[in-house]
């Protein structure tokens, strides 16, 4: 990959740099895996021997950065490997994924970070950035080696599917993390209040005979954490919020100048509890799908910038964990390959501009994670996605690259897809529909 490559030029695209919202026709020159030149407007002179890809009619933007993906490697390779997750990512226009530490063994020591990075280097076609656990074994008691883990390559700290519930443990983790500038990503959910709950609390759950999860399970954990952020000054990222009240809580914290960012799952942005229908376990998620009013509040918060990041919350599950009665099924849905297509629904619905959306899918996560990628800038890595925002199709889960098939969008009408994905200038996905020279 690192050999001196043939230069490439992506011509006639609509360029969109979500880092500053600039949008217009232009061309991008790629050399040695990086963006060598950007010509807004008129075509630049073609360098000798450059390969040309005609991007007419499509939007060229920084590749997506997905801050929350569960990969089964190590430990659950039958559900997903770094190779299969990265293939799914590439097909979805995601050029960087942050993998969660909920593996077996848990990513809670430098050696495992190193293992994941090496496996990714050898088998994955997109950038893989490991998030390490906040507490050893995700057990919620003893903090991990934030310094050594960061040196090994961990980009953030999270207990993944679990919240750090013990207030003292969280306070100390925040206090210590601050000295290392470490980013803590919390799954904001109070498990005691979730109890036996399996979907959003309310009329629908009551009609289905399922126990509910109140919104307060999220808001009380979020509010507690923000108190601790106020106390400690740690960099804090609420991994996924799901309801209108949480939006207000985050808005206030940002207004007060706390070092706080937050994300939302694509599922909570485009689906609601009604999608569970008659016990569809592919829609059993954590946080749960909420009501339509909450979904709309999230979409508005995304457009407003209160929600910084949209994640896929990619969580491959197989029939053994999903083909069960609803309450007994595992949480989680596939998402990384459908992230872009699903997110474009928000643009078409007029909820959010394409620039805003792409900021939440690339520029903002890039900035939060301290990466060079996520923007169209000379010298930045050539991690790029070419988007056809209009192409219609019906999603067929059998065509998904993931090893698992638990997509809530199976058989859904979709519009918009990645037609070309480049990681470090290398083409990792190319739609058959893309015209132009090879």
Which residues make up the interface to another protein (CB under 8 A)?
A: 201-212, 214, 278-279, 320, 323-329
- Cα–Cα distances (Å) from 370 to 36, 146, 152, 281, 374, in that order, read 21, 16, 16, 36, 10
Task: Name which of 114 and 320 has its Cβ closer to another protein.
Answer: 320
Task: Name which of 166 and 323 has its Cβ closer to another protein.
Answer: 323
Task: Name which of 5 and 318 has its Cβ closer to another protein.
Answer: 318
Considering the complex, what minimum distance in angstroms separates the CB of residue 405 from another protein?
16
Task: Name which of 174 and 205 has its Cβ closer to another protein.
Answer: 205
234: its two tokens: 């740690």
Task: Name which of 191 and 233 has its Cβ closer to another protein.
Answer: 191
- Is residue 339 within 8 Å of residue 66, measured between CB atoms? yes
For residues 91 and 400, give the distance between their C-alpha atoms in angstroms, rounded to a whole number: 9
Q: Is 313 a catalytic residue?
A: yes
Name the β-bridge partners of 135: 143
- Cα–Cα distances (Å) from 235 to 130, 145, 157, 175, 312, in that order, read 18, 17, 11, 10, 22
Considering the complex, what minimum distance in angstroms separates the CB of residue 241 from another protein?
20
| Catalytic residue, candidates 313, 351, 383, 388 | 313
Of 163, 148, 130, give the one whose Cα is nearest residue 369.
130
**Phi, psi (degrees; rounded to nearest 5) at 286:** -135, 115
Cis link prior to 105 (omega < 30° from 0)? yes
266: its two tokens: 């694509």
User: What angle do the packed helices 216-232 and 244-255 form, to 10 degrees?
Assistant: 10
Task: Name which of 205 and 340 has its Cβ closer to another protein.
Answer: 205
Active site amino acids: 313
């Amino acid at each position: 990959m690192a050999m001196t490559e043939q230069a490439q030029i992506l011509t006639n695209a609509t360029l969109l740099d979500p880092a500053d919202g600039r949008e217009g026709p232009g061309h991008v020159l790629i050399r040695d895996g990086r963006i060598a030149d950007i010509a807004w407007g008129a075509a630049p002179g073609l360098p000798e021997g450059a390969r040309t890809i005609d991007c007419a009619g499509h939007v060229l933007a920084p590749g997506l950065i997905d801050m929350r993906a569960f990969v089964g490697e190590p430990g659950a390779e039958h559900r997903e490997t770094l190779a299969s997750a990265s293939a799914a990512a590439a097909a979805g226009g995601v050029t960087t994924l942050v993998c969660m530490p909920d593996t077996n063994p848990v990513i809670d020591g430098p050696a495992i970070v190193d293992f994941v990075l090496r496996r990714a280097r050898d088998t994955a076609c997109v950038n893989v950035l490991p998030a390490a656990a906040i507490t050893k074994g995700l057990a919620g008691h003893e903090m991990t080696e934030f310094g050594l883990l960061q040196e090994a390559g961990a980009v953030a700290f999270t207990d993944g599917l679990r919240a750090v519930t013990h207030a003292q443990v969280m306070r100390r983790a925040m206090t210590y993390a601050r000295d290392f500038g470490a980013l803590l990503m919390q799954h904001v959910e109070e498990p005691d209040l979730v109890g036996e709950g399996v979907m959003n609390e309310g009329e629908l759950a009551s009609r289905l005979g399922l126990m509910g999860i109140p919104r307060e399970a999220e808001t009380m954990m979020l509010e507690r954490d923000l108190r601790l952020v106020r106390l400690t000054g740690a960099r804090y990222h609420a991994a996924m919020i799901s309801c209108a009240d949480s939006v207000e809580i985050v808005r206030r914290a940002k207004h007060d100048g706390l070092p706080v960012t937050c994300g939302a799952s694509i599922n909570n942005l485009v689906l609601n509890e009604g999608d569970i229908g008659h016990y569809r376990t592919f829609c059993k998620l954590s946080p749960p799908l909420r009501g339509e009013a909450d979904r709309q509040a999230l979409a508005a918060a995304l457009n407003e910038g209160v929600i910084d990041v949209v994640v896929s919350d990619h969580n491959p599950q197989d029939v053994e964990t999903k083909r069960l009665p609803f309450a007994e099924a595992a949480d989680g849905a596939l998402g990384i390959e459908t992230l872009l297509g699903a997110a474009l629904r928000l643009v078409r619905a007029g909820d959010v501009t394409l620039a805003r959306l792409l900021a939440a899918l690339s520029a903002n996560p890039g900035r939060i994670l301290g990466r060079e990628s996520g923007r169209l800038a000379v010298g930045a890595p050539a991690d790029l996605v070419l988007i056809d925002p209009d192409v219609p199709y019906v999603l067929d889960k059998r065509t998904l690259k993931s090893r698992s098939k638990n997509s809530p969008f199976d058989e859904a009408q979709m519009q918009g897809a990645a037609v070309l994905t480049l990681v470090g200038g290398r083409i990792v996905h190319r739609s058959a529909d893309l015209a132009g020279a090879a």
